[in-house]
Structure 1
Amino acid sequence: MRGAARYGIEHEVALLRDDGTLADFTSLRYSEVAAIVDELPEDPADRRDLRIGDAGIRRKRWYAEGFERFDDDGRLVRFDPKGIEIRTRIHDDVDAVTGALERDLSSLTGVAARHGLHPLAIGFNPLRSAYRLEPPANAFELAAQAGSPEERTAHLHMVTYGPDLNLSFPDSPSDPATMADAGAKLTHLSPYLVPLSFSSPFRDGGAWGGLSARTAVRTGPRPAVLVYLDPSDPLQVSDPSLTRHAGIPAEVGRIEFKAFDACPDPALYAELLSLLTGLLRDTTLPGRRTTPDAALHRRAAVDGLHDAGIRAGACAALDAAADALRGEPEHLDRLRSLRGRIERRECPAQDLLARRRRGGPVAGLPARTPAIR
């Protein structure tokens, strides 16, 4: 890819109640989430960059994230929420898009607090590893699931929280071959990149022994990257998908990295966007994959950057990105910060685990007696 990039962020958050318990699909009602979203502003200008969707739930930059249930005739009859998603408009630089996310997160935090709920950035539901359809899917829903690999595995996202980091390059071609190559490049690199974001060391009520339950469960069955093509272009057939038709004109040419865990600090998103920019500008790295390497992602999910092979891949990716971004000091400053994280083998999950060891409540898990050393 060549030229300046444009950026968007979609950031999922879980919700905690005032008492620190997790409000997930087992207890969170759609009416609770809707009451929060209703208080947040609606700007018709957002629709240039953001898709609304068939059910009309996504009218704003904030919307209820969850799973839709339909009757046999295709009428929406229930919505099981897992949290709230924030979407930014498309911006011309990294600081602008992360600044927009911070402002919208602040607005959400203030409104949600009045309803007894508080946003939490974590990569995986710390209490439950699965969402089961009750009642089981009916004929209409089964037919919809057969429509694409992502529909078939949509239930997996009910226990995961992550960002979609979106990049587009207006000066680059957006033909199917160019876009698929860009997506395949990032898909190949994904297991070396995602450990920088790991924030899901808990599942089923405690530490599971790794750093990203989200990566272990999700990536492989679901895509690491999606690229958006003009609706007239042919799609590349794969499972999970790599290519998708754009739903609105602004999506054409968009490259969406989907495999990072939700990050508690938007500054890390800024660093990761610079990394992705450099990797997409790079012309030297040879690896390509149409679908994610599920086994390598599961390996990365356990030890992250403490795994020497994963760390070496991350360093190689960072070096290539830095070479591609020479002369762009703001990007390079962010890459230097990432290099420090790699050298320290650092990710947000480690802070969550340390807080848990100290005995305090964390990520929706109750306080516990600290471990005796």
Structure 2
Amino acid sequence: MFNFGIEHEVAFVDLTGNFVDFSRANFADFNQIIEALPEYVDEIIHLHMGDAGIRKKRWYIEGFERYGMDEEFVECVPKGIEIRTTIHTSIKNTILELNESFCLLQDVAAKFGLIPVLISYNPNLTSYKPQPPFNEYELRELQAYPDEQTVNIYMVSYGPDLNISLTDLPVEKVIDIGKKLNYYSPYIVPFSYSSPFYQGDLWEGLSVRTFIRTGKRAATRVFVEKPEQLISSIPTLTKIARLPAEIGRIEFKACDSCDDFSIYAGILALLKGLILDASLLGREIIPNAALHQLSAQEAFDNEEIFAIALQILQAAEIALGNDPDINLLVPLKNMLEKRETPAHQLIRTFKNLGSIEQTLIQTYPNFR
């Protein structure tokens, strides 16, 4: 039996169209939204709560937690709000919950003058510079966790974790699937591309987020139960599960954010098909940064990217067979046929309106 979940990061603009990031907002600005959203106390078995008390709900402030020299939590520097679904046995129910949670977030955020928008890389700022600078304790913590050393990238990028697991699968098989998804990631992620802006203008490709982050941050993460099951790598492929529900979970972390959740459904169905598939033999512990950068610039216009994307889509279809989830692949097939990504629409809108902010306000059309 498969289990599914989604963690979806949401960026915002204010009523005047300004992009709201850590340079414009503080923790309290976002926390008033979180406080007004419902809390489902029985979900602690599904969702990691963390040590700082920020992740109590399906929605929480996504950002970077700052600590003092006494190791006490000081503040969370915000970049947006993350929505987490609970664990579901069907992709359909996962997407339904995500839709419901997004609608609630949108309604509450509107009361505080914020509008959710789609973007996967900060359109204005290129990195995060902590103020005040990291203290000695924070520096030691960052050095202990290689992925955390890329906080300057993390704080200006937005993307989902698409979570999938097959119950009672041996850990060796789960890790092998993680390696497989690492290998085929450059051909999967174009279906999600949504970061064609950089430093206030159009970038030369379709996903500046993918171009900058891959090789520095994980494309796939596998949660294991025991320390001896960990594989040493930078970025890290494996991580100790923080609660029983995480054991055996595969997080596909390489995608850009999407404002059409049917794309998430399609990618989850694709991942499900790739887990079931036995014909594709590519494996990598560390994602291929150069190939991701090529994909980020050219996507399906590149013949190799197009051909292998078509190959894995067909392999997933064969593996799914009579599974109804095969129908969820339709949005991906349509994009591949047109050789388009979501970023193409963002670029067209920008060229028509001449403003990144006005372009962003046009996103999430199904929720306006």
TM-score by length of 1: 0.94
Q: 1:163 to 1:366 in 2, by over 3 A?
A: closer
CA distance in 1, matches of 2:18, 2:149: 30
Secondary structure of the corresponding residue to residue 229 of structure 2? coil
Alignment match, 1:353: 347
Structure 1 stretch 331-340 or stretch 111-120: which is displaced more? 331-340
Q: 1:339 corresponds to which letter in structure 2?
A: K
Instruction: Work out which of the residue numbers 47, 51, 60 in structure 2 matches 1:50.
Output: 47
Distance 1:12 1:364 in 2: 20
My pick for the range that moved more, 183-192 or 334-343, is 334-343
Partner of 1:225: 220
- Is 2:135 aligned against 1:141? no
d(CA) in 2 for partners of 1:148, 1:321: 34
Matched-pair contact (CA < 8 Å) for 1:88–1:101: yes
Identity of aligned residues (%): 42
How do residues 248-327 of structure 1 correspond to structure 2 at under 5 angstroms? 248-327=243-322
The 3 A distance-change label for structure 1 pair 364 and 216 is farther
TM-aligned CA deviation for residue 224 of structure 1 = 0.3
Q: Which runs of 5+ in 1 are unaligned?
A: 368-373
The Cα of 1:231 is off from its aligned counterpart by 3.5
SS of the residue 1:153 aligns to: helix
Q: Which aligned segments of 4 or more residues in structure 1 are displaced greater than 3 angstroms?
A: 360-367
Q: C-alpha separation between the residues in 2 aligned to 1:246 and 1:171?
A: 15
> 1:338 aligned to 2:332?
yes
**Secondary structure of the corresponding residue to residue 238 of structure 1:** coil
2:20 alignment partner, SS class = coil
CA 1:155 to 1:366, structure 2 compared with 1: closer, same or farther past 3 Å? Answer: closer
CA displacement at 1:337 relative to structure 2: 3.0
CA contact (8 A) 2:300 2:339 kept: yes
List per-residue Cα deviations over 1:217-250 (Å, max 9, x = no partner): 1111001000000145431000000000000000
Cα distance in 2 for partners of 1:48, 1:142 equals 32
Mapped pair 1:16 → 2:13:
yes
CA drift at 1:360: 5.3
Alignment partner of 2:284: what SS?
coil
Aligned to 2:364: none
Q: Which runs of structure 2 are paired with 1:167-182 in the superposition (5 Å)?
A: 167-173=164-170, 175=171, 177-182=172-177
Contact 1:163/1:260 (<8 A) preserved = yes
For residues 182-261 of structure 1, the aligned pairs below 5 Å read: 182-231=177-226, 233-261=228-256
Distance 2:69 2:183 in 1: 40
CA drift of 1:20 comes to 1.2
The letter of the residue matching 1:52 is M
Deviation at 1:154, TM superposition (A): 2.7
Tell whether the 8 Å contact from 2:128 to 2:151 is kept in structure 1 after alignment.
no
**CA contact 2:192–2:258 (8 Å) conserved in 1:** yes
Contact 1:21 1:366 in 2 (8 A): no
In structure 2, what is the Cα distance between the partners aligned to 1:132 and 1:291?
27
Post-superposition Cα deviations, 1:49-75, rounded to whole Å, max 9, x if no partner, equal 100001010000000001112222212
Partner of 1:161: 158
**2 CA distance for matches of 1:88 and 1:364?**
29
Provide structure 2 residue ranges, at least 5 long, that are not aligned to the other structure: 362-368
Does the 8 Å contact 1:62/1:87 carry over to 2?
yes
For normalisation by structure 2, the TM-score amounts to: 0.95
Q: What letter matches 2:73 in structure 1?
A: L
Give the equivalent residue in structure 2 for 1:83: 80
Q: Give the whole-Å Cα distance in 1 for the aligned partners of 2:359 and 2:109.
A: 20
Rounded Cα–Cα distance in structure 2 between residues aligned with 1:337 and 1:200: 19
- Offset of residue 121 of structure 1: 2.1
Rounded to whole Å, the distance in 2 between the matches of 1:336 and 1:118 is 29
Question: What secondary structure is seen at the aligned counterpart in 1 of 2:316?
Answer: helix
RMSD: 1.5
How much does 1:287 deviate?
0.5
Tell me, yes or no, if the aligned pair for 1:126 and 1:363 is still in contact at 8 Å.
no
- Residues 151-171 of structure 1: CA deviation (Å, up to 9, x unaligned): 222331111111000001014
